[in-house]
Amino acid sequence: MFEGDSKRPLLERLSPRTRMGLSQFPLTMILVCLALAAPAAWPGLLGEGLFQAALLIHALLFLLCWIVPWERLPPVATLSIPLGDMVAIVLSRNGALDYLPGLGILLIFPVIWLAASGRFPTSTVLASFLVPLGMGLVPLLRAPAEATATQLTSTVLLALMLLAVASAVRFVTATMALQQRKLERKDTDLRRLLESSERRESLLKTILDTIDVGVSAVDTTGSVTLRNHQQEIFDRTGVSGDHLAVDGPGAPLYGQDRKTRLPADKVPVVRATKGETFADYLVWIGDGAGARALSTAARAVNDEAGDFAGAVVASNDVTSLVEAITAKDEVIATVSHELRTPLTSVLGNLEFALSEKDPEVSAHYVEIAHRNAERLMELVADLLLSSSAAMTVHPRETDIAGLIDSVVGSVAPQAAAAGIEIKTDVPAPLWTHTDPLRMSQVLDNLLSNAIKYTSTGGMVAVRARTEGGQLRLDVRDTGVGMSPPDAARVFDRFFRTSSARTSAIPGTGLGLSIAKAIVEGHHGRISCVSAPGKGSTFSVSLPHIAS
């Protein structure tokens, strides 16, 4: 049996046959008792043909209750039993008229059964009056001379009484059915309401889980009562820190300057649990390179009575946005600085030239101004290139060995002047699918740098190979080198190591960022391995080697 079965009412758990058998049982029992008592109490009763026929019908009906598969028949078929009972009772009453004239009262059983069934209400009520009336009148009409007023009265009274019983049962059953229908309607409404609220809840959850903003609901003590998918990710990766757990052991929180520890009363969730409503409140979480910027917002939640019941806190990871804004500010500051230096020199030297009487000295000032103007021009060209290089790559079949040869040739005088030896280890030809103009720029930058940052007597080596379907190009020098953190930043725009900045070596810090953009425009990679005093190696790898 299913677990749920034991919770259903007993009547519902019974099979239709058992129910029919039990409904018939009281009437059958009364008749069995009468039959048993008859030989002693009413000798001759069992000899009455009508009474015998009635007993036989009752026995048959009782048997039918237990053997007919009622569940397979239409419900109305069950009414055949009380109707059969009526027939049997009429027969038994008239068969036992001389012994038990009050036997007709047994009609109360089928009358209740029929009325309670709720089917054919008018016919049922009529039958409950007419059957007892007919049952009493037929014997009286057969011998009208012997009929007494008492017999007539008791016949009518019985008919009226059964009519009253049928009407009362019918009324109670109808009322109960009405109540039942009302309950069922309420049940349906409730179920619909529940379904719609479940649908809304699931929709809300999907919406909350779709957005990449962490959302959590907290109670008045700051304990989390609900959180969305993004918030779960934040919590798992430690981004939520103690802005969610009031006294939690999360990562430290800092203000906008990334340095000042946030006082306890400024922690977003603490502000939220005080009922504060805020938005775009930026906090930094964690230290060093792994620090994240969170833009937080909170709104108070009130209960039905309008009292503060908690808050909803939202946090958005805006680290890349904040870093992009900072980088942009840095670039603008550096560009302004880089442009101002040669511009100041141009203006200053032109002023000197204008006020100078000696044409020779004046020409010298003009020459310096011209040199700085050219540097300015170079700077602007580099700046434009650094932001457009990746987009203007036009690859075609190119012999990279030939390119290396020509670039080495062009920087050779510079290397010779600095007393630096250039070695090449490149198999020729080395066909690649690259933009020759742009790749020459990359090679020129790597080789010029290698010469620029290597002292006299040093060596620069260029090596190129095809490896696993890729071109691998290394430019190694025995120069000043740099620390690994500096090596990791050489491809950033305007980055120059502090030694390069303080030395007299000219440079803008744009060359390598342009080289990187060109290499990436070819879907390749560029990297640098270096150590202070030990020299540097710049490596380029490019896919798409030509056959």
> Where does this chain bind ligand ADP (CB under 6 A)?
445, 449-450, 453, 477, 479-482, 490, 495-497, 500, 507-513, 536
The number of C-alpha atoms within 13 Å of 317 and in the hemisphere containing its C-beta is 19
CB contact at 8 A, 461 and 476: yes
CB of 390 to ligand ADP, least distance (A): 16
Task: Find the shortest distance in angstroms from Cβ 326 to ligand ADP.
Answer: 20
Neighbours of 127 (CB within 10 A): 23
Rounded to a whole number of angstroms, the minimum distance from the CB of residue 379 to ligand ADP is 10
Closer residue to ligand ADP, CB minimum distance, 90 or 519: 519
One DSSP character per residue, 262-288 reads PPGGGSHHHHHHTT--EEEEEEEESSG
Non-local (6+) Cβ contacts of 422 within 8 A are 408, 411, 412, 415, 447, 459, 460, 461, 462
Residue among 88 and 482 whose Cβ is closer to ligand ADP: 482
Please answer whether residues 314 and 212 qualify as being in contact, where contact means their C-beta atoms are separated by less than 8 angstroms.
no
Judged by DSSP in three states, 469 sits in coil
Among 319, 328, 336, 436, which residue's Cα sits nearest to residue 387?
328
**How remote is the C-alpha of 287 from its chain's centroid?**
31
Q: How far apart are alpha carbons 65 and 109 in whole angstroms? A: 15
Tokens of 201: 């809840």
- DSSP H or E segment with residue 297: strand 292-302
Give me the least distance between CB of 436 and ligand ADP, in Å please: 20
The smaller minimum CB distance to ligand ADP, of residues 319 and 527, is found at: 527
Min. distance of Cβ 302 from ligand ADP in angstroms? 58
Residue closer to ligand ADP, measured from CB, 469 or 506: 506
Helix 16-41 to helix 80-95 angle, to the nearest 10 degrees? Answer: 0
- Spatial distance between the Cα atoms of 474 and 425, rounded to a whole number of angstroms: 10
* 479 vs 524 by CB, closer to ligand ADP: 479
Residue 232 or 492: the one with the smaller Cβ distance to ligand ADP is 492
Cβ–Cβ < 8 Å for 276, 298: yes
Q: Closer to ligand ADP by CB, 279 or 505: give it.
A: 505
Q: Which is nearer to ligand ADP, 70 or 538 (CB)?
A: 538
- Give residue number: closest CB to ligand ADP: 507
Query: Which of 396, 394, 546 minimizes the C-alpha distance to 470?
Result: 546
Minimum distance, C-beta of residue 417 to ligand ADP, in the bound complex (Å): 17
Quick one: angle between helices 149-210 and 229-236, nearest 10? 50
What is the nearest approach in angstroms of ligand ADP to the Cβ of residue 445?
6
Q: Exposure string (b/e) for 93-113, b if CB count within 10 Å is 16 or more?
A: bbbbbebbeebbebbbbbbbb
Q: At its nearest, how many Å lie between ligand ADP and the CB of residue 422?
A: 13
Is the Cβ of residue 104 or residue 481 nearer to ligand ADP in the bound state? Answer: 481
Smallest separation (angstroms) from ligand ADP to the CB of 507: 2
Exposed e or buried b per residue across 171-192, where buried means at least 16 C-beta atoms within 10 angstroms of its C-beta: eebeeeeeeeeeeeeeeeeeee
Give the shortest CB-395-to-ligand ADP separation in angstroms: 23
Residues 477, 458 contacting (CB under 8 angstroms): yes
One-letter amino acid at 527 equals S
Nearer residue to ligand ADP within complex by CB, 48 or 486: 486
Residue 187 or residue 330: which is nearer to ligand ADP going by CB?
330
Q: At what angle do helices 108-117 and 121-142 cross, to 10 degrees?
A: 160
Of 78 and 537, the one with the shorter C-beta distance to ligand ADP is 537
**Minimum distance, C-beta of residue 392 to ligand ADP, in the bound complex (Å):** 19
Smallest distance, ligand ADP to C-beta of residue 481, A = 6
